[in-house]
Amino acid sequence: MSKYIFVTGGVVSSLGKGICAASIGRLLQLYGYSVNIMKCDPYINVDPGTMSPYQHGEVYVTDDGSETDLDLGYYERFLDISTGKENSITAGKVYQTIISKERKGEFLGATVQVIPHVTNEIKSRFSALEKKCDVTIIEIGGTVGDIESLPFLEAARQFVLDKGRNNVLSVHVTLIPYLPTSGELKTKPTQHSVNKLREIGLHPDIIICRTSSPITDDMKRKLSLFCSVEEKAVVQAMDESSIYKVPQALYKQNIMEQVFKNLHMKPRKKPNTSWFNIINKGLNPSKEVTIAVAGKYSELKDAYKSIYESLNLAGMVNDAKVNIKLLDTEKGISLAQLKNASGILIPGGFGYRGVEGKIKVIEYARNNKIPFFGICLGMQCAVIESARNLAGLKGANSTEFEPKTEHNVIDILESQKSVKDKGGTMRLGAYTAQVEKDSLTHKAYGSLNISERHRHRYEFNPKYVKALAKAGLKTVAYHKSETMKAMLPEIVELKGHPWFVGVQFHPEFKSRPIKTHPLFRDFVKASLKHCKK
Ligand code: GLN
């Protein structure tokens, strides 16, 4: 049977609960345990796929094609596991299942209620990964005290009874705010938050205090007394220069002693801390490089989370600090803004807004031989740019955009033509591709067969592949679709340019510390080379 760790949040949202949860998971791995981890999102959307990035930040896509919360990205990066639909529970999914069972008459005449029907459904999802790991970590989204998260917390309370106290640990991540007027850190909000949690029947075993300055032993004593946790179980998580330092910070405070004690577990081996050393080395680079990311949601830190993380990780293996310069193509950019950029990346996106700005940026990268990496929409814009400016296809465009043109170099996927619903219907998840020998891509991956994650409705129109290759933009990888009896273009490269790669998929979802994605690694390497010139 698996052991369980619940991670809840108090006082405010955005405390980095996901990072704390993933850090505990990483530490368990260092001690020889296998870990899986899931996120509960209390919203009614079935998944975040239909939400705007302004609402939700990035939508993280898993191998099995689930559109999930960006915390799953942290889980995969920290734990080096591949997550999927079982790792993400939303109130929408829970209610959808219950309502469809009710319509089939599966509740045998009963009145369907939050307790026990909703909580039973949640609990069965909590234990879905039980056979696959020694410990399941369950992060409950939102803040204790929200109406929405109550059924999840109630299910967690019942779960402790079902599984036995020795098998379930409760971690509460909370904020210790600093009041500049009195120059003090305050514990009161945490006391209230823990009270709220105890009212629901969940008692924290460990409290992780997010704080901007160190908490004193006195404060620990106070928190221990008022929140009824052991003093040793009050742990601080200070703001770190890198999220990858959080596992070490928790480790140094002996958090694992508390975890093992409460779960009646023992370390399986001496912890293998080489992961810390590799991270620390990567975080002290000797070089620096500036990469421009030209997208639409530049002011929103979370919208391109995995892209920023992948760039940082690629910096770590190249012994370089990557400075990311965000450009908003919707606001109209001047090319002067690109002056210091040694590499240019255009991320994915939807709709026409900002597209002409992206095309202008690509033209600049192409003409000035600046390393360029186009991802999904970024690749599609590169195809449009080459079509217009190299192949002379006037007004070339995508059928996704206005104005309409006779040259739809980007066109809707055959499989998407009959799709009506918006949620979960794109070409999603992992697909394989075959790569051309000796291409930049082949050199990066060191393999001719790859698998990458997708999230799109449109594609490089195969009718134009030859014309574009003749003009210089060559398709160097295809997915062979048996069902569609078609070859779907997956990667383009520009001839005569040091590093110009466009990919139809999202490599940012597969980059991890130590296992940096090969395309990000080589893009940053090429940018460093450009920087030296
Ligand atoms: N909007 C484009 C499509 O659907 C690109 C999608 C993306 O960048 N994720 O094909």
pLDDT averaged over the chain? 95
Indicate if the alpha-carbon torsion angle 349, 350, 354, 356 is positive or negative. positive
Active-site annotation holder among 20, 209, 376, 381: 376
Q: Which domains does the chain have, with CATH numbers?
A: 3-278 (3.40.50.300), 286-532 (3.40.50.880)
pLDDT at 468: 97
pLDDT of 111: 97
Residue 333's pLDDT band, with cuts at 50, 70 and 90, is confident
Q: Are the C-beta atoms of residues 359 and 387 closer than 8 Å to each other?
A: no
Going by pLDDT thresholds of 50, 70 and 90, the confidence category of residue 335 is confident
pLDDT digits (tens, 9 = 90+) for 451-466: 999 999 999 999 999 9
Give the phi and the psi of residue 414 in degrees, each rounded to 5.
-50, -45
pLDDT tops 90 at residue 52 = no
Residues with CB under 6 A from ligand 1: 348-350, 376-377, 380, 400, 455-458
Residues 6+ apart with CB under 8 A from 496: 472
> What is the whole-number distance in angstroms between the Cα of residue 426 and the centre of ligand 1?
9
Which of 63-68's residues contact partners 24+ apart within 8 Å by CB, and which partners? Answer: 63/429, 63/430, 63/451, 63/453, 64/429, 64/430, 65/424, 65/428, 65/429, 65/430, 66/428, 66/429, 67/424, 67/428, 67/455, 68/39
More confident residue, 429 or 404: 429
- On the question of pLDDT at 299 being above 90, the answer is no
**Cα 357 to middle of ligand 1, angstroms:** 16
pLDDT-based confidence at 489, cuts 50/70/90? very high
Mutate to test the pocket of ligand 1, among 355, 399, 456 (most ligand atoms within 8 A of CB): 456
Using a CB cutoff of 8 Å and minimum separation of 24, what contacts does 467-473 make? Answer: 467/387, 467/391, 467/393, 468/383, 468/386, 468/387, 468/390, 468/391, 468/409, 468/492, 470/391, 471/386, 471/387, 471/390, 471/391, 471/392, 472/386, 472/390, 472/496, 473/382, 473/383, 473/386, 473/390
Output the CA 471–ligand 1 centroid distance in Å: 24
506 in catalytic set: yes
Report CA(207)–ligand 1 centroid distance (Å): 41
> Which of 306, 346, 358, 380 has most ligand 1 atoms within 8 Å of its beta carbon, as the pocket-test mutant?
380
Question: Above pLDDT 70, what percent of the chain?
Answer: 100
Give, in order, the Cα–Cα distances in Å from 97 to each of 136, 185, 211, 383. Answer: 22, 45, 40, 42
Which carries the bigger pLDDT value, residue 273 or residue 297? 273
Q: What is the mean predicted confidence (pLDDT) over 294-316?
A: 90
Query: At residue 41, does pLDDT exceed 90?
Result: yes
Per residue in 122-174, pLDDT tens? 999 999 999 999 999 999 999 999 999 999 999 999 999 999 999 999 999 99
Dihedral sign (CA 280, 281, 286, 288): negative
Whether 372 shows a pLDDT value over 90: the answer reads: yes
For the question of residue 40 being annotated catalytic, the response is no
Q: Looking at per-residue confidence, does 333 or 291 come out higher?
A: 291
User: Catalytic residue at 376?
Assistant: yes
Give the pLDDT mean for 26-53: 95
Q: Which amino acid is at 156?
A: A
Mean pLDDT of the region 309-318: 96
